[in-house]
């Protein structure tokens, strides 16, 4: 099958520090992929580099193509046409992601007028979209200001904005982290239902398990393991994935393994070779050489894989 999104050799760096290293993966049409890792692993930067929204001073290299169109290393003027139409993104913090001074409906409509829809049409469709993300009384919500909505409602608005132009790929960056647990669940179900193809970024393994089909595990700016969710979660090969699973309730054998020792180093302070070796209980001198991500379907980069 032809992939919807193809990422090859994507690196992100600021000044001399490399934050994401040589990332490659694909997402097929309609496929829901989770990108998992602790904060500082580079997952959010990966998403932002695809959107062309990297903060100032942070630069991406390599290639990323969405349906044949380049996303990385292209002029802003060209990428910005894709943003909000071909691919869109829902951010982590719903409380601050909406403009406090603008009515909700207008903010939803804006994304459509930006991509060529007439103002009146956009306004009407905004209400439909609000209904589609299951907001009660969408017409009223459209007239409200963000501060009059709850966090969950605002995140739905964000989702409505993201879906407005029927994008081919939806990127969600921790969209439920800031929400109450009950709201979280509804939100996840909604995303799973409406997303065309999905890149779902989270640190929460359970969320990935419930939404995604395939998962990429990131650590230290690299993908250390990838594969179908069920397989990776039941038979983790990389010692980091193993630790992550152990720390969560998704332990494969029900027995608690010791959690990962130490904490994630600051950017640029990861060891050479295997980036995990300074925290890995199984590390040997062999790990001073960087392992390649190998394997078909279920791939991992570890000299001393588990199981």
Question: Measured from the CB of residue 162, what is the shortest distance to another protein in angstroms?
Answer: 8
166 binds another protein (CB under 8 A): no
In the complex, minimum distance from the CB of residue 40 to another protein, in angstroms, rounded to a whole number: 19
Q: How far is the CB of 263 from another protein (least distance, A)?
A: 22
- Regarding 111 and contact with another protein (CB under 8 A), the answer is yes
Name the DSSP class of 132.
Answer: H
Contact assessment for residue 263 and residue 276, using Cβ atoms and an 8 Å cutoff:
no
Residue 98 within binding range of another protein, rule CB under 8 A: yes
Binding residues for another protein restricted to 114-143, rule: CB under 8 A: 114-115
- Residue 99 near another protein by CB under 8 A: yes
- Per rule CB under 8 A, is residue 105 in the interface with another protein? no
**Torsion angle defined by CA atoms of residues 12, 13, 17 and 23, in that order, rounded to the nearest 10 degrees:** 10
Question: What is the bridge-based pairing of β-strands 197-202 and 169-173?
Answer: parallel
Report DSSP letters for 203-256, one per residue.
Answer: S-HHHHHHH-SEEEEEETTEEEEEEEHHHHHHS--SHHHHHHHHHSS--TTSSP
CA distance linking residue 210 with residue 188, whole number of Å:
8
Question: Interface with another protein includes 76 (CB under 8 A)?
Answer: yes
Distance CA 278, CA 246 (A): 18
For the CB of residue 78, give the shortest distance to another protein in the complex, in Å: 11
Per CB under 8 A, 161 contacts another protein: yes
Stretch that binds another protein, among 20-28, 111-119, 256-264, 268-276 (CB under 8 A): 111-119
Q: Is the CB of residue 19 less than 8 Å from the CB of residue 267?
A: yes
Min dist. Cβ of residue 170 to another protein (A): 11
- What lies within 8 Å, CB to CB, of 267 at 6+ separation is 14, 17, 19, 40, 221
* From 34, 42, 84, 243, residue interacting with another protein (rule: CB under 8 A): 84
Count of residues that interact with another protein, criterion CB under 8 A:
32
Helix 119-132 with 104-114: angle, nearest 10 deg: 120
* Closest distance to another protein from the beta carbon of 147 (Å): 5
Task: Please name which of 148, 158, 228, 225 lies closest in space to residue 190, comparing C-alpha atoms.
Answer: 158
Which of 8, 22, 93, 140: binder of another protein (CB under 8 A)?
93
Q: Which of 129, 158, 208, 232 binds another protein (CB under 8 A)?
A: 158
Residues between 13 and 32 that touch another protein (CB under 8 A):
none
The closest of 216, 249, 214 to 230, measured between CA atoms, is 214
Is the CB of 81 or the CB of 298 nearer to another protein?
Answer: 81
- Residues 205-244 binding another protein (CB under 8 A) are none
Under rule CB under 8 A, residue 57 binds another protein: yes
Q: Residue 117 or residue 304: which is nearer to another protein going by CB? A: 117
Q: Does 83 participate in binding another protein (rule CB under 8 A)? A: yes
Q: What span, in angstroms and rounded, lies between the C-alpha atoms of 147 and 274?
A: 46
Applying CB under 8 A, which of residues 3, 14, 53, 58 lies at the interface with another protein?
53
Q: Please, what is the end-to-end C-alpha distance for the chain in angstroms?
A: 31
Which residues contact another protein (rule: CB under 8 A)? 51, 53, 56-57, 76-77, 80-85, 88-89, 91, 93, 96-102, 110-111, 114-115, 145, 147, 158, 161-162
């Amino acid at each position: 099958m032809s992939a919807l999104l193809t990422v090859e050799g994507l690196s992100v760096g600021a000044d001399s520090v490399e934050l994401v290293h040589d990332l490659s993966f694909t997402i097929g049409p309609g496929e829901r992929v989770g990108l998992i890792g602790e904060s500082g692993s580079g997952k959010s930067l990966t998403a932002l580099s695809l959107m062309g929204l990297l903060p100032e001073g942070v630069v991406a290299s390599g290639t990323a193509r969405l349906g044949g169109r380049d996303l990385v290393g292209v002029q802003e003027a060209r990428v910005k046409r894709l943003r909000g139409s071909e691919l869109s993104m829902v951010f982590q913090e719903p409380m601050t992601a909406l403009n406090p001074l603008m009515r909700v409906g207008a903010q939803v409509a804006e994304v459509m007028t930006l991509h060529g829809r007439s103002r009146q049409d956009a306004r009407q469709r905004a209400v439909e979209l609000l209904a589609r993300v299951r907001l009660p009384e969408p017409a009223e919500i459209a007239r409200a200001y963000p501060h009059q909505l709850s966090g969950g409602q605002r995140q739905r608005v964000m989702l409505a904005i993201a879906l407005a132009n029927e994008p081919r790929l939806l990127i969600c960056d921790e969209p439920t982290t800031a929400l109450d647990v009950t709201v979280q669940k509804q939100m996840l179900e909604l995303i799973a239902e409406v997303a065309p193809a999905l890149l779902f970024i989270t640190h929460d393994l359970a969320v990935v398990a419930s939404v995604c089909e395939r998962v990429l595990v990131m650590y230290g700016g690299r993908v250390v393991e990838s594969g179908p969710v069920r397989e990776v979660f039941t038979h983790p090969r990389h010692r980091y994935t193993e630790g992550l699973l152990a720390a969560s309730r998704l332990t494969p054998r029900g027995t608690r393994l010791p959690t990962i020792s130490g904490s994630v180093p600051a950017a640029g302070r990861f060891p050479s070779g295997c980036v995990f070796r300074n925290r890995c209980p199984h590390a040997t001198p062999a790990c001073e050489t960087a392992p390649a991500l190998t394997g078909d379907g279920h791939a991992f980069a570890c000299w001393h894989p588990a199981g």
